């Protein structure tokens, strides 16, 4: 018995056993590892066995096919072209009817495209506004309002407008830092009560949540493409492919000590598009 035949026998026999093993493993609700190993080895035994068999056992054979030219030859081509043209002439004999048929077919095709509009609304300018309003309190994802005094220095928290915790585009990062370190334009100095500053959590590059807060550097880092935003300078971009700074949420603290917004974000949130004119 040649080596190839011996190996083929071993492999096929092994494969057979592995298949039986898989059946048993399946019935016994064996873990994924056992199921995969048994079935995998069964297939491997079959596959390599067939490979060994085809290479070592089957007689090597060479056949030679002749290639023919693909072209069907000038006479066949001419005939085909003539048939095509004759058919076209027959269809289009009456110019007016043919023209009207084409116009009707074209219009029907366009009409058939109209239902595509049902597939959804054009996003357009939906990100221009979120659910934040003047006087709307900031709440956690569970709906708990946030007191300004509850945030310690260096704290970071994700909040939503009260009653709109499902408006994910309104997700806002609240960060508490030393207000003396801030370098904001003068019109924004009132937006940071007690050193609590709020920025949109939706990255202005491609929309990922800007989930990493580098506390000692006061930087927000987006994990998707490493856009880095400098909180002290109004979350302007200091590294990465983002261009727009994170929109800032104007904050104030109400009489009860709760953090609320005094208006919607400074700009539309998230990445821009052709349709966002501002």
Partner 1 sequence: MISARVVRWLDDRLGTASFAKNALRKAFPDHWSFMIGEVALYSFLILIATGTFLTFFFDASSTPVVYRGAYTPLAGATVSTAYDSALRISFQVHAGLLFRQVHHWTALVFLAAIVAHMARIFFTGAFRRPRELNWLIGTTLLILAIADGFTGYSLPDDLLSGTGVRIAYSALLSVPFVGGWAAFLFFGGAYPTTETLRRFFSLHILIVPAAIAGALVLHLAMIWRQKHTQFAGPGRTESNVVGSPLWPVYAMRSLSIGLVTAAVVVLLGGLVQINPIWLYGPYQAWVVSSPAQPDWYVGWADGALRLFPGVSPRVFGHPIPSPFWPLLIIGIFFICVYLWPFIERAVSKDGAEHHLLDRPWQSPWRATVGVAVLSATLVLTLAGSDDVQARYLHVAVEYLAWIYRIAFFVAPAVLGFATYWLCRELGAREREHLAGESPWETVRRTPQGGFDGERERV
Partner 2 sequence: MLLGAVLASVTVALGLNLPPIRTLPESSSFVVATPEPRPDGRQLYEVHCSSCHGTLGQGSPVAPPMIEVGKGAVDFMLSTGRMPASVPQAQSQRQPPIFSSAQTNAIVDYVASLTPGSAGRVAIPNVDPDAGDLARGRTVYGQNCAACHGAAAQGAAVGYGEYAPALDRATPTQIGEAIRLGPNVMPHFGPQTISDADMNSIARYVLWLRHPENRGGASLGYEGPVPEGFIGFVGLGSILLVARFVGTKT
* DSSP character at residue 137: B
* Footprint on residues 124-143 left by partner 1 (CB under 8 A): 124, 126-127, 141
Specify burial of residue 247 (Cβ count, 10 A radius: 0-12, 13-18, 19+): buried
Q: What is the DSSP letter of 67?
A: P
Q: Choose one: 100-108, 147-155, 224-232, 251-259; the region binding partner 1 (CB under 8 A).
A: 224-232
Rule CB under 8 A: choose which of 40, 99, 223, 257 binds partner 2. 223
**Residue 250 near residue 235, CB atoms below 8 Å:** no
d(Cα 26, Cα 20) in Å, to the nearest integer? 10
Candidates 78-86, 87-95, 184-192, 267-275; binding stretch for partner 1 (CB under 8 A): 267-275
Dihedral over alpha carbons 264, 270, 273, 278 (to 10 degrees): 30
Q: Which stretch binds partner 1 (CB under 8 A): 95-103, 132-140, 179-187, 217-225?
A: 217-225
DSSP letter assigned to residue 151: P
Give least dist CB 208 to partner 2, A.
10
Name which of partner 1, partner 2, none residue 218 binds, using a CB cut-off of 5 to 8 Å depending on partner kind: none
* Binding of residue 6 to partner 2 (CB under 8 A): no
CA atoms lying within 13 Å on the CB side of residue 25? 18
- What are the residues facing 16 on neighbouring strands? none
Crossing angle of helices 3-27 and 32-52, rounded to 10°:
160
Stretch that binds partner 1, among 98-106, 148-156, 209-217, 254-262 (CB under 8 A): 209-217
Q: Is 147 among the residues that bind partner 2 (CB under 8 A)?
A: yes
Select the binding partner of residue 154 from partner 2, partner 1, none (C-beta < 5 to 8 A, by kind).
Answer: partner 2
Could you tell which of partner 1, partner 2, none binds residue 152, using a CB distance below 5 to 8 A set by kind? partner 2
């Amino acid at each position: 018995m040649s080596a190839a035949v011996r190996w083929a026998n071993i492999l096929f026999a092994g494969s057979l056993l592995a298949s039986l093993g898989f059946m048993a493993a399946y019935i016994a609700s064996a873990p994924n590892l056992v199921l995969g190993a048994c079935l995998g080895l069964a297939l491997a035994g079959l596959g390599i066995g067939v490979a060994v068999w085809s290479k070592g056992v089957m007689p090597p054979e060479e056949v030679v096919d002749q290639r023919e030219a693909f072209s069907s030859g000038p006479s066949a081509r001419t005939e085909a072209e003539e048939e095509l043209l004759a058919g076209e002439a027959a269809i289009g004999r009456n110019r007016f009817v043919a023209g009207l048929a084409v116009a009707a077919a074209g219009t029907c095709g366009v009409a058939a495209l109209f239902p595509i509009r049902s597939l959804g609304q054009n996003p357009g300018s939906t990100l221009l506004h979120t659910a934040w309003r003047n006087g709307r309190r900031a709440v956690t994802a569970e709906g708990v309002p946030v007191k300004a005094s509850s945030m310690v220095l260096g704290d970071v928290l994700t909040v939503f407008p009260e009653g709109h915790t499902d408006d994910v585009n309104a997700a806002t990062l609240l960060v508490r830092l030393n207000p003396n370190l801030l370098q904001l334009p003068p019109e924004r100095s009132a937006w940071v009560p007690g050193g609590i500053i709020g920025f949109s959590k939706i990255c202005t590059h491609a929309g990922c949540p800007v989930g990493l807060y580098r506390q000692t550097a006061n930087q927000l880092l987006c994990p998707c493409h490493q856009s880095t935003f400098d909180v002290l300078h109004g979350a302007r971009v200091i590294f990465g492919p983002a261009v727009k700074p994170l929109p800032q949420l104007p904050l104030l603290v109400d009489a009860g000590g709760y953090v609320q917004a005094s208006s919607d974000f400074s700009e539309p949130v998230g990445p821009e598009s052709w349709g966002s004119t501002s």
